[in-house]
Structure 1
Amino acid sequence: MRGDLVISPAGEPIVLADIGLTQLHEDPRIRVWDVSLEPGACHPWHLHHNPYVVMSLAGSNGRMDWLDGTEPRFIFEYRGGAVYRPVSPVHRLTNIGDSCYRNRLIELKDLGEHLREPLDIGPGARSSLGVPPGEPLPDGRIPVLRHEHVSVWTVTVHPGETRELDLSPGPHLLAAIEVDEHDPAGGVRPHPGGPLTLAGAGTWFVVELSYLNHLNTILEGHRG
């Protein structure tokens, strides 16, 4: 958490930063952040206590460095892509590309900080550019990432149109890819599931928090 003090292998004290740069939403289940990095900028050392979903609004090449000295990991995040990640050791992220990188990061509290130990979700999941994990849904949603815990789609509304979505029952999160900079919520809003009307031109991420529909079963397996 922000302000926590850790010690590097070289004995240097490190004060941890927040998971993201700006917190956009929080409720008892989730916490949502904005992470925006211009070319060359770095999101400082931080530690995830919850499994999390990253949705890219603007893509770039990145480098993840680990405080324990593990070899860095090089990543490419593209606009409209998504990643589901487990908790991980203290690390930092640097935008090594030539364009701005921006995401929406959702922390899943019920799989992390609400437990004695965070849930081991294995490797998680990652979308692949140009390879959707399934066919578009009748309501126009295009699948981006599918996992038993979360599903992520994008949906586009063209100028002068509306889009009627038929969401599954249960909590969802919407995140606009084209962000109105005057919106203090950064284009993020929760939805309880069921019918949803989207109006106004733009593309949205639609995230189904499907783990909440069978949370007890997931946690029983965790305890076992």
Structure 2
Amino acid sequence: MLVEQNYLLSIPGTLQIKGEFLFDCQKKTYSATETIRKRRYINGPSGAPCTSELKRKVRQRWEQTQDDLLRYVWGYDCEEKHRAERLLQTTIEHEHVFPLIDAILTKDEVHGLLERLDIKRPLMYELGFRNNNCVGCVKGGVGYWNMIRRHFTERFYEMAGLEREIGTTCIKEVYLDELDPERGRIEDEMMGECGILCEIAYGNIVG
């Protein structure tokens, strides 16, 4: 599992609890598109409704059913210490572990480490995206959406239609169906590098 996934559960009875959590998530099968359509809101200063409804609230409801102390393992890298610090301040009721920050590893170094360990990355990275978000993430910018247009054309036009239906855009500058295909800059790929700290982490893994 790629380290950028937001959280894992590491508590007694993890496998059983994971199954219950997954079952609870599957009770309602709202997609990001359906959630946006229901809320009539795509993205803004308060965040995206799909993040709130399909991730945060589902997790919080599940947490309320648990009696054990919860320990979350987060994939923030050493350049995201501010996010870890904010998390520690806002969710003091749980334990939090930040292995990449502890190992002083960047995302690029982790990708290099995965390459050395012959661990296949999620498709979005192989296509050149910087993050493994949902396909057609409403938080993406101009370059991101032009890459979605190129690799996931159906999803691009689905979101373009949803923008017109609601009357607002996800990138604020222009509606997707008016976006110049040549606009935006995004790195062609997530480059893997393996410096001294990556070498140390690799040595610890392979023994």
Higher strand fraction (1 or 2): 1
Q: What's the TM-score once normalised by structure 1's chain length? A: 0.20
Higher relative contact order by CA 8 Å / sep ≥ 6: 1 or 2? Answer: 2
Q: What's the TM-score once normalised by structure 2's chain length? A: 0.21
> Which has more radius of gyration?
2
